[in-house]
Structure 1
């Protein structure tokens, strides 16, 4: 029965874990994480059972399938299947995913990997007349693999499909047939079509910020401050997952960029080994000895902070202004107005999360949830407060012609101008604007922010409060969703944190950020089992003298 070889069916699934491979987060003792019942292991082709085959990397599986020498009935049965299997595996390899195993759980894939797996499924389907919409497919992709992705997208186009891509990547933009450029700014200053036409005409457009960035020759230069590090954080004998017993040096009070092809071990090194073990050491706990031998030179670090893509808040009651604590200062300013003092309104009255201040009908949400049986939930703007979130008494208090609801509807750029005479408020708003998020509104619900926006808001909060220094910041692809021009704004904030005595370590593929690095660490040479080695670690000047996958791409970028 074919269902015996499917862990999603009762026939093939391990009876202990029901085909999940884990029980409450612990690997299933019965199937050892393979998800299958033991009978499945009895059926083998060339000495390998299906679970054992799926544990190999995609390129090794392709090699295995190609070497099959089937005879008689088996050959007849496999005739139509083998070319289809090889075709689909080649799609995954072409998209730079050769290092993945087929047994890997989908929830452990990065956003970029998951997106490329979905693309490969579509390519293999041979459909025509389909409109594919892709949102930043180059996220998590090494620049040398961009050409592979573009080739795959063009092959989809040539089959008679329409490909619409939202993208900031220079190569992808210039490889397209038609460009629609929206702007001229972000948020309220955007929403207009600045340019729409053939790609070769884009560079002639005078009003397009994208065209200006693409033509800017100054971009193609090394912008590193070339700090000379005196002290290092040293990791010795790192051997988790595919990392091969490596010794790594991270300079303190400098900008270090960790580069390498997808799957080479960057996130494992920085977000798992370095972060988790250093966090343990700072909390006076033991390091995980099976992952590394020792950590040296951490005495000058007081705190380690991982700035990831996780949301800054999971409810609409959380907003960017509450997260960076500027809304507390704004409420304080309203409580100091004459009418607020006369009525005895304290700072808490100007919060939409308190019963005294919020609209009694929508409880400060600004909308009401309407539940209709058998239909999705519908949200309707509150008729009582018209989405303002507050009760009428609070909305009667004005600060220079604006009430608290008007302030929440401002974007950060407008609010910065409005509060320019309030130094504390201005400083916080200005930091968010400098990091390229001036288009966000103060009252925008946190769950609506993208991963990249959430990451930059976290950075802004740290920049505002971090005056002591001695913090190690770890960032995983912070340029996600950033326009070419905005990368410089992000780097300026990172450099500001370093000037305050902090250390920055960034995992990044974007050459626009790599060119600012003081120190570069490259892992490789490939992904998966073929990765996990140090190809280079040292200053950026030395990096340009060696030949590695990333240095080759960076050198080409600088020449052009």
Structure 2
């Protein structure tokens, strides 16, 4: 701790290394080209909120960044119009999109996924293992042990959501809720199971010397090694490691996760799927609250999704993200009534050469410093 100068000069501080640019996210060398063979998702004549008959073309199978000052119309274009319009076009359920004239190219997309920082669950029962479907596979492993078979335990015995194997004192939550008037609820460890969620008989069943409660308390990086010979479990765990979440516990309650952690768990779930081509991923300011190192991991994941044949569309103010994009659509020139227009489109290098673009001015300075 200390002044910014103290942090900047501290040899062991990761933050300090980024501040003094000893560590930094290096700009990608060759961008994915946009040419006559590129396919586009186009929405025409959008007049949602302050948008002034905007027609926007989003190149598919690319990393696209929508930029602009606050109030320029980014969310109006992407979240309130484009996303619901495409979802409805594909037969999904969504809020009514804002007014627009025509939508082209939606047939080249199979699904739309909005990846935000909302919690993956709102109770202690939800955790990374349940969200990624790992917990079902872990329960199968324990049900196949010799001890479980001798006792007649089936897979349901190892669930903390149903009677039988769970601690009934806390009903498998591991904590007890204390309702606080006019304050957030308070959770305290269950005195009966001491936070383990299961009863004594269930905990007596071991796999490689560990009970199911022990497994849920493992760090994800340790669990990946523990289940290295179980592909159905190891694959999703590797995805969690790739987004930098190896430090979380496998059974860590979702109520204790930050928005950035929840977002990366959602991305890990997508990475763990064996096939997810032609998906449009939409993220609204995904770097909010993230450390420099976490932003680097996030960008690597987003580019990985594009390399798999998907499209990534990001609304962002972060210059690292803008500079990493294949294509930028910049709205403005100002906010509110003085915004709602497309100022410029192009590669980050193109946008950086446009003096009328507020984004371009700052992007030019940023990229020159990076290079």
TM-score for the superposition, normalised by structure 2: 0.91
For 1:269 and 1:303, the matched residues in 2 are separated by 18
Distance 1:263 1:352, change over 3 A: same
TM-superposed CA distance for 1:275, in Å, is 0.8
Matches within 5 A, 1:466-505: 467-505=275-313
Q: What is the rounded CA distance, in whole Å, between the counterparts of 2:247 and 2:238 in structure 1?
A: 12
Q: Partner residue of 2:19?
A: 214
Counterpart of 2:216 (choices 408, 420, 437) is: 408
Show the counterpart of 1:242.
50
Q: Is structure 2 residue 67 aligned with structure 1 residue 262?
A: no
Q: Which residue of 1 aligns with 2:365?
A: 556
2:198 counterpart residue number: 390
In structure 1, the partner of 2:339 is 531
Structure 1 alignment gaps of length 5 or more: 1-195
CA–CA distance in 1 between the matches of 2:298 and 2:91?
30
Aligned partners of 2:352 and 2:359 also within 8 Å:
no
| Contact 2:177 2:186 (8 Å CA) reproduced | yes
Residue in 1 that maps onto 2:236 = 428
Aligned residues: 365
User: Following the alignment from structure 1 to structure 2, what is the Cα–Cα distance between the partners of residues 284 and 382?
Assistant: 42
1:267-288 per-position Cα deviation (integer Å, ceiling 9, x unaligned): 1111110111111111189996
Aligned mates of 2:342, 2:121 — CA distance in 1: 37
Tell me the distance in 2 between the aligned counterparts of 1:460 and 1:348: 26
Aligned equivalent of 1:201: 6
Q: Deviations over 1:233-265 (max 9, x none)?
A: 011101100111011010010100111111111
Give the Å deviation of 1:545. 2.1
Call closer, same or farther: CA 1:466–1:553 in 2, change over 3 Å: farther
Q: Provide the C-alpha distance between the structure 2 equivalents of 1:249 and 1:404, rounded to a whole number of angstroms.
A: 50
CA drift at 1:421: 2.4
Any idea what SS the aligned residue of 2:24 has? helix
1:378 Cα deviation (Å)? Answer: 5.4
Displacement, 1:322? 0.3
Corresponding residue number in structure 2 for 1:304: 112
Instruction: Tell me the residue number matched to 1:329.
Output: 137
Bigger RCO of structures 1 and 2 (CA < 8 A, at least 6 apart): 2
In 1, Cα distance between equivalents of 2:94 and 2:291: 42
Distance 2:212 2:98 in 1: 54
Change beyond 3 A, Cα 1:204–1:310: closer
Task: Please state whether the residue corresponding to 2:70 is helix, strand or coil.
Answer: coil
* Separation in 2, partners of 1:484, 1:372: 37
Give the equivalent residue in structure 1 for 2:39: 231
1:418 is the counterpart of 2:226? yes
Which residues in structure 2 correspond to 1:311-322 (within 5 Å)? 311-322=119-130
CA spacing shift, 1:284–1:275, aligned 2, 3 Å: closer
Distance 1:197 1:287 in 2: 47
1:75-116 CA distance string (max 9 Å, x none): xxxxxxxxxxxxxxxxxxxxxxxxxxxxxxxxxxxxxxxxxx
Residue pairs, 1:140-219, within 5 angstroms:
196-216=1-21, 219=24
Q: What is the CA–CA distance in structure 2 between the aligned matches of 1:316 and 1:280, rounded to whole Å?
A: 33
CA shift, 1:205, in A, is: 1.6
CA-based RMSD of the aligned residues comes to 2.4
* CA deviation string 1:165-198 (max 9, x = no partner): xxxxxxxxxxxxxxxxxxxxxxxxxxxxxxx233
Helix, strand or coil: the match of 1:219?
coil
Helix, strand or coil: the match of 1:203? helix
Do the aligned partners of 1:265 and 1:532 also contact (CA within 8 Å) in 2?
Answer: yes
Q: CA–CA distance in 1 between the matches of 2:351 and 2:180?
A: 61
- Which structure 2 residue ranges, 5 or more long, are not aligned? none
Distance change (3 Å), C-alpha of 1:379 and 1:543: closer
Q: Is this contact kept in 1: 2:84–2:94, CA < 8 A? A: no
2:365 match: secondary structure: helix
